[in-house]
Amino acid sequence: MKTQVCIIGGGPSGLLLSQLLHRKGIETIVLERQTRAHVLGRIRAGVLEHGFADLMREAGCGQRMDAEGAVHDGFYIAHDGRMDRVDLHRFSGQSVLVYGQTEVTRDLYQARDALNGQILHEVSEVVLHDLKAATPHVTFVQDGEVRRIDCDFIVGADGYHGVSRKSIPADVLKEYEKVYPFGWLGVLSETAPVCDELIYARHDRGFALCSMRSQVLSRYYIQVPLSDSAESWSDEAFWAELKARLPEDVAARLETGPSIEKSIAPLRGYVAEPMRYGALFLAGDAAHIVPPTGAKGLNTAASDVHYLYHGLLAHYAEGDESGLDSYSEKALARAWKAQRFSWWMTSLLHRFHDGDSYDSRLQQIDLAYLFSSEAAQVSLAENYVGLPY
């Protein structure tokens, strides 16, 4: 097989890049290890920056997002027995869109199908070859047969555990990581959201987050030790602990019900440098992971897609290599800013069991300062809605 851009990974970032390039006449083939049903079954974040939403519209995939997504002009932080609101629109001029990643992926699959896009599922033994040569290629196994794709470029959008980043020599790749000593226990329930905007809660018992997927589907999280398992938490125990971490009036109106999904996600920050090696470009979780506190994971992947899309477009349309040559530097600059913001949000709102009263007091002072300073709220709002590409 032959194509211009071979994309490893059929998640939202790989699909979005494929769709954007296809609409500009640039050929792609997407390779995905899992089935489509498995990819669509992943439960992920649902807060989209305005830049991501614009990319979806440019890809011709924004109709359902705009019809069903909820525009949020702010969110709440519950702390010290009170609720303070961060007015995103007032302090940044922008909003965010709450629309589940599963729905984003479904819209992208439908768009690729409509254009007869090539997505090969259930591939294994993917190997990247000749990354420093003018003619790279990819081999893989599908249906027991070894196959080969010759291409101009390879995009590794296959996540942290994928093969793409591991194809960069160890003496070239530099990795940075911060592992947090706790995780988020998340529950999805067919209940009405407790609030029309997200609530982040800092509490002595631990962090909590009230989010939503729709008006009848809610997503809630509580901070738990990494030693816990989702199976050890009954629905009743989860709801009781969530209520204990929320202001009394919020807890009183919380609608509870059976969980339809329950899992624990560890929290960590990770960055790999560089994000380009020869003909290989890393994107999304293959290159960087952030704690979910700042809602930056999918959105940082989208900025990678933005830089790659425009770099490849300039290469094929004008022979201009500047976008591709500067890709790693630009993508990493924005990724590190997302790391800083996610680290700050995580440090501000979680209980650190190895911390002392000094650390806890600093959190209180930081929150008090945040809501006494318009400059601090401008900084928070600008980062939350998404820094410019």
- Active centre residues (catalytic): 72, 200, 292, 296, 384
Alpha-carbon torsion, ordered 223, 225, 226, 229, to 10 deg: -90
Question: Is residue 274 a contact partner of residue 208, using CB atoms and an 8 Å limit?
Answer: no
Q: How far are the Cα atoms of 49, 176, 273 from residue 173, in angstroms, in the given order?
A: 29, 10, 6
Q: What are 71's two structure tokens?
A: 């525009």
Identify any residues that bridge with 29 across adjacent strands, giving them in sequence order.
6, 118
d(CA 211, CA 175): 32
**Adjacency order of strands within the sheet including 74-79:** 82-87, 74-79, 199-201, 208-214, 217-225, 174-189, 259-273, 288-289
Question: Is residue 45 a contact partner of residue 295, using CB atoms and an 8 Å limit?
Answer: yes
Residue 377, Cβ neighbours under 10 Å: how many?
Answer: 20
C-alpha angle 281-285-289 in degrees, rounded to nearest 5: 125
